[in-house]
C-alpha cells in the first residue's frame, strides 16, 4: 500500500445490498470498514438503496455512500430543483 497513492476504498454493492438480511455480509462490511480506517482510508459503500442499510453503515462509521437511497439518477436540469427541495426538507423538518 505504500507504493500506491490510495486514499479511499469502495465496498461493492454485492456486499452492501444484503446487509439487513445477512449477518455474514454485515460482519464482512464492518470488518472492511474497520480495516480501511486502520490504514487511514476513507470508505465508500456502493448500492445503498434503503434507510435501514444507510443506518447500519452510519453506525459503522462509513464515510460516504453511493446509491438510490436519496434519489435515482436524473438529468442535470432536474438536479438543481431536487437539491433545493432536499436542502429545504433537511433544514425545515
Cβ-contact 32, 61 below 8 angstroms: no
74 falls in which pLDDT band (50, 70, 90)?
confident
Round to whole Å and give the CA distance between 40 and 88: 34
Domain locations along the chain: 8-91
Give the tens place of pLDDT for each residue, 17-51.
999 999 999 999 999 999 999 999 999 999 999 99
Residues pairing with 89 in the sheet: none
Q: What percent of the chain has pLDDT over 70?
A: 90
pTM score, two decimals? 0.80
- Which phi and psi angles does 58 have, rounded to 5°? -65, -40
Amino acid at each position: 500500500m505504500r507504493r500506491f497513492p490510495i486514499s479511499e476504498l469502495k465496498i461493492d454493492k454485492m456486499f452492501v445490498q444484503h446487509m439487513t438480511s445477512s449477518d455474514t455480509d454485515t460482519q464482512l462490511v464492518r470488518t472492511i470498514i474497520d480495516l480501511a480506517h486502520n490504514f487511514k482510508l476513507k470508505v465508500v459503500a456502493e448500492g445503498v438503496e434503503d434507510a435501514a442499510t444507510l443506518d447500519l453503515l452510519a453506525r459503522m462509521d462509513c464515510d460516504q455512500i453511493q446509491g438510490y437511497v436519496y434519489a435515482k439518477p436524473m438529468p442535470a436540469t432536474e438536479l438543481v430543483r431536487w437539491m433545493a427541495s432536499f436542502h429545504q426538507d433537511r433544514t425545515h423538518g
